[in-house]
């Protein structure tokens, strides 16, 4: 599971803003929403006749593969870099 999300925003004036977000406390705060999302995903799997266990296992594998991922977005003179560790 990812441990840290780093966001760096390069502003047009050249001074970057860096934000470090620990993932575990955010997940704990939003855990009621996460539980509802998992239940909704299970209902959708049942409606479309997809194996719930296989779908949840695949979702977990995707989340586990996130560490090391980088997103770079540039628009004009502004840029956003998101790194998942």
- pTM of the complete model: 0.71
pLDDT digits (tens, 9 = 90+) for 29-59: 999 999 999 999 999 999 999 999 999 999 9
Residue numbers of the domain that contains 16: 4-84
Strand order in the sheet with 78-84: 16-22, 4-10, 78-84, 70-75
Using CA atoms, how far residue 80 sits from 14, 27, 35, 67, 75, in Å, is 13, 23, 30, 18, 9
- Whether 41 contacts 34, CB under 8 Å: no
| pLDDT above 80 for 14 | no
pLDDT of residue 77: 79
In the chain, the number of structural domains is: 1
| pLDDT above 90 for 76 | no
């Amino acid at each position: 599971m990812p441990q840290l999300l780093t966001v760096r925003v390069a502003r047009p004036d050249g001074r970057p803003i860096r934000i470090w977000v620990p993932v575990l406390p955010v997940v704990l705060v939003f855990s009621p929403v996460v539980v509802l999302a998992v239940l909704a995903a299970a209902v959708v799997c049942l409606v479309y006749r997809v194996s719930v266990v296989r779908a949840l296992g695949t979702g977990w594998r995707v989340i586990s593969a996130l560490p090391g991922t980088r997103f770079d977005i540039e628009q004009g003179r502004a840029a956003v870099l998101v790194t998942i560790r």
